[in-house]
Structure 1
Amino acid sequence: MIDETVRCIREEGFSAASARHIIERAGVSWGVIQHHFGDRDGLLLAVIEDAVDRLVGSLEALSDPAHEMNTDELVRATWEAFANPKAMAGLEILIAAKGLRAGLDTRHLERLGAALAGLNERLDTGDDHAHAAALSMLLWTTPVAMMIAEMFATLPLAVGEAQKAIANLIDQHR
């Protein structure tokens, strides 16, 4: 159900993701959603939580100092962590349904905050901690902004040049 909800939102947009439409696409009954999620909001929260869990796992792996990679690889991997269908669907839900935010388990958001802090630590190699924090924020907010732009773009956006620019900026200021 989570995967079908993600596909529905990515293919047709949040407004098309009614409970009726999702169950039609999935070929199940309303009872399946009720049994596993309670209602449509429960299903949407499950999509967000699954997206956050996957994102946190990716960011924790990227934050691991034993995971050797150059700056270009770090930027691409961070981009991939944020710009995947589940993360994009989760973000679209959060944008469209602000009321659902209150239902999120705070542990998910705390883990996300810790994972982002770990990414910051990976970039913090000098005495200028504020600069490292700004670079870290740029590293993860740029793919999030591109995710939002993709919601409105008709063609896939070329991200290679943006990734190179971020990698160059990080390398110049480390």
Structure 2
Amino acid sequence: MTTAAGTARVPQEERTRLMRARLLEATVDCLVERGFAGTSTTLVSERAGVSRGAQLHHFPTKNDLVVAAVEHLTEKRATELAAAAEALPDGPRHTRAVLQVLADHFASPVFAAALELWVAARTDEALLVTVAPFEQRVGRDTHRLAVDLLGVDESVPGNRELVQATLDLVRGLGLANTITDDTRRRERILDRWADVLEKELS
């Protein structure tokens, strides 16, 4: 039997969920547009349309807020990556299509926001304690995805290093893209690397 309190609690829980989502989305937007130093809890609460008190209740510190925001969108991006993987073509263009999916991931706003956290964590010990394990998990998950999508047998000597080199490559291309639109050069590099992978992994 549903009580009056139970009936009231569902809308409140939904309002709380939506409010947290607005805060997290606003935080990532601020990180991308203003960087870590330019992102403040006050600015985020204003942008999200959430009271300062409500924001502090859920995320007491700036570090709590930005780490939760990047984790939130990374999980969202993982869902999008899985959907993109399902649409990958078979045949001769498969490897190149996998590289495009990975490159798009590292050219996304999520990567730009995460990059702001990495730079800040380098000199912020409290932030590093939180960010480092999270980034290690993301790295492992991305590596596993790349192995699956490329159909790599990592028991073959050298194959694991090729996958890691691929991720280092697309990460570097994503980093270059944060400064200027690097699309044309990136496409040429991905074309050539697809040829390398198909030869080395065959």
Check whether TM > 0.5: yes
Q: Give the structure 1 partner of residue 158 of structure 2.
A: 131
Which residue does the alignment assign to 1:73? 97
TM-score, normalised relative to structure 1: 0.77
Distance 2:39 2:168 in 1: 26
1:156 shift after superposition: 1.3
RMSD: 3.1
User: Is the Cα–Cα contact under 8 Å of residues 2 and 43 in structure 1 kept in the other structure?
Assistant: yes
Task: Tell which has more relative contact order, 1 or 2 (C-alpha 8 A, sep 6+).
Answer: 1
TM-score (norm 2): 0.68
CA displacement at 1:63 relative to structure 2: 7.5
- Alignment partner, residue 157 of structure 1: 182
CA contact (8 A) 2:88 2:98 kept: no
Could you tell me which residue of structure 2 aligns to residue 3 of structure 1? Answer: 25
Cα distance, 1:135–1:48 mapped onto 2, change above 3 Å: same
Larger Rg: 2
Shift of 1:49: 1.5
Distance 1:53 1:172 in 2: 33
Is residue 89 from structure 1 mapped to residue 113 from structure 2 by the alignment? Answer: yes
* Aligned equivalent of 2:75: 53
C-alpha displacement at 1:104, in angstroms?
4.8
Where 1:38 maps in the other structure, the secondary structure is coil
Query: Which residue is 2:56 aligned to?
Result: 34
Q: Are 1:120 and 2:125 matched, yes or no?
A: no
> Is the Cα–Cα contact under 8 Å of residues 71 and 171 in structure 1 kept in the other structure?
yes
Deviations 1:23-48 (A, max 9, x none): 23333332232122222111111023
Q: Which residue of 1 aligns with 2:13?
A: none
**Higher alpha-carbon deviation: 105-114 or 41-50:** 105-114
Superposed displacement of residue 77, structure 1 = 0.9
Q: What is the aligned-residue identity percentage?
A: 22
Counterpart CA distance in 1 for 2:154 and 2:109 is: 37
Is this contact kept in 2: 1:123–1:132, CA < 8 A? no
Q: How many residues align?
A: 171
Selected match of 2:174 from 147, 150, 153: 147
Deviates more, 1:15-24 or 1:121-130: 121-130
Unaligned residue ranges in structure 1 (runs of 5+): none
- Determine helix, strand or coil for the equivalent of 2:50: coil
